Homo-oligomer: A and B are copies of this chain.
Amino acid sequence: MHGLMMNYPLTLAQILAHAHRIHGDKQVHTLLPDGRVHRYSYAVLYGRVKRLANVLTGFGIRPGDRVATYAANTYQHLELYYAIPCIGAVLHPLNVRLAPTQLAEIVREAEDRLIFVDGAFAAQFAALQQHIDCPHTVIFNGASKMPVGAPLTRYEALISQADDTYAWEIQDENWAMGLCYTSGTSGEPRGVLYTHRSMFLHTLAVNQADAFGLTEADVVLPLVPMYHAMGWGLPYACMFVGADIVLPGAKPARERLVPPLCGGDNPLANLIAETGVTVAAGVPTVWAQAYPELRKRAQDISSLRQLIVGGEAMPPTLIEAYEKELGVEVRHAWGMTEMSPTGTLSTLRRAHQQLSDTEKWKVKAMQGRPVPGVEIRLATESGAELPWDGNTMGEVQVRSHWTARRYYKIEPTAEHFTTDGWLRTGDIATINAEGYMQIVDRAKTLIRSGGESISSVALEAALMKHPQVVEAAVIGVPDEKWGERPLAIIVLTQQADEGTPAALKQHLASEFPKFWIPDRFVFVDEIPKTSVGKSDKRAILAFL
């Protein structure tokens, strides 16, 4: 028997309309390259999004078409986050840190019909542009650096000429709204095609009081780039509750804002102080690097009440530092691009309130419990379910209303999806009786460096192409600053000389971004193997 409730599609257009109607005066702040802060209201954003919708249809963009962005966290990118899906097209944020050849492959597969480019990345975009065949490019934030002859159109000119009325109509909540690529354990980038339904549900889920718990009173700073896993869903979560948004501007946050990279001044503390940030979201590397300076400026950043941390594990000592010294609550999350991305979150239970502080940080350093709507389980390689005893290790498998059921343009395989419809994450973990998950081993081949993924498989494949390389294994080794860095173990055809590492680095440089290049090369006679003939990376680690 069917019920008799209203049943119309769950869409992002509803989030946009609600934000405009109920929270029209709330603010979006963007840090500009010159250090000033650009500000406008949701109401202004709404008007521009409607104009942008007309710009998109003017380019012939129709429901289902992919439209790419090549941009950092700015108000224009936020406008694109709404305009593209709300006309029924597919928002495809490109990871600006990927190498041009990698990205070109992704753009080809996605068949992007239009690319929006942040002028701050104009030079590096020009390198990409040689490899792709995208009909149109629109640029914002100053086009002065754009190579002459590139077929570009200016964003603001288009916006100002466009009509400011548009009637949103998403006919089906299962329409695709976004496409993000992930590089997983296999080294091949794989696309995740989100739906309006999945992102709407993800938004409600993360706004639960026990998840991100954002409110209208919050001022939220997403340091996580909007090209990473849909910016952790924050562009939608913030605006559905009516929080102010602070965008760190036209270059990746950690390069601009974090002291070791930006010199003596500390724009991050300044930005928090100036805009009254209450919640900030980013990877642990950012928070580790920023801590000393934030500690010095504790008075100035007293508005900050909470960090949302994900992308890699946050050490208990760092959680302690923020909670104890700065009074900032750390919400430690785990997820994947495939999961929109939120899976688990480590908040304390009522029962934990009686623990010692040290024990509390340990609980918070786990990846935590699934947010309502997410199911997790541990399984053996053959798929047998394992107990939640805090000791037994197994692969984490996930099911949720915001998890991918397959990859874009790739037939589902048993490597990634179980026959009963769960995602195989490739992460090895324990889960205790209270439902807290602890990742004990990463996906075997994935290296996480400063919040970015580096595929050892892809590096190995490239190294093997070098005429002097017989065999190569790349592993992640702990690094104080970046979390992990790649290290290459090489078997050569001949004796290595002092020029060999430089030659191999140069060989890789044409194919990968700088931060992918291994820092160290170790030359050996033989690489230990597992029983099935694969490089035994545990054994390699043991003899290093």
Contacts and interface: CB of A to CB of B under 8 A. Distances in A.
A6 B193 contact: no
A370 B3 contact: no
A431 B376 CA distance: 43
A421 interface: yes
Choose among A63, A90, A208 the residue with the greatest number of B CB atoms under 10 Å from its CB. A208
Given A22-B435, A208-B208, A404-B6, A347 B14 contact: no
Interface size class on chain A is: 35 or more
Given A21-B435, A241-B209, A3 B195 contact: yes
Interface string A1-29: 11111111010001101100111010000
A196 B399 CA distance: 18
A515 interface: no
B213 A372 contact: no
Given A1-B176, A63-B1, A90-B1, A8 B210 contact: no
A369 interface: yes
A237 to B, nearest CB: 10
A407 interface: yes
A142 interface: no
A422 B17 CA distance: 16
A375 interface: yes
B194 A204 contact: no
Interface in A360-410: 369-370, 372-373, 375, 399-408
A139 to B, nearest CB: 26
A373 B14 contact: yes
Contacts of A3: 174-177, 193-198
Contacts of A401: 5-8, 10
B4 A407 contact: yes
A220 to B, nearest CB: 12
A207 interface: yes
Nearest to A239: B372
B6 A403 contact: yes
A224 interface: no
Contact of A5 (B22, B90, B198): B198
A6 B399 contact: yes
Contacts of A400: 6
A172 interface: yes
Contacts of A1: 63-64, 90, 175-176
Choose among A14, A22, A213, A214 the residue with the greatest number of B CB atoms under 10 Å from its CB. A22
A372 B8 contact: no
A240 interface: yes
29 contacts: A3-B177, A3-B196, A4-B192, A4-B406, A4-B407, A5-B195, A5-B197, A5-B198, A6-B198, A6-B400, A6-B403, A6-B404, A6-B405, A8-B421, A10-B401, A14-B375, A18-B372, A21-B435, A22-B370, A22-B435, A23-B435, A204-B373, A207-B209, A216-B347, A216-B349, A216-B350, A217-B349, A240-B372, A241-B372
Interface of A: 1-8, 10, 14-15, 17-18, 21-23, 25, 63-64, 90, 172, 174-177, 192-198, 201, 204-205, 207-210, 213-217, 240-242, 340, 347, 349-351, 353, 369-370, 372-373, 375, 399-408, 421, 423, 434-435
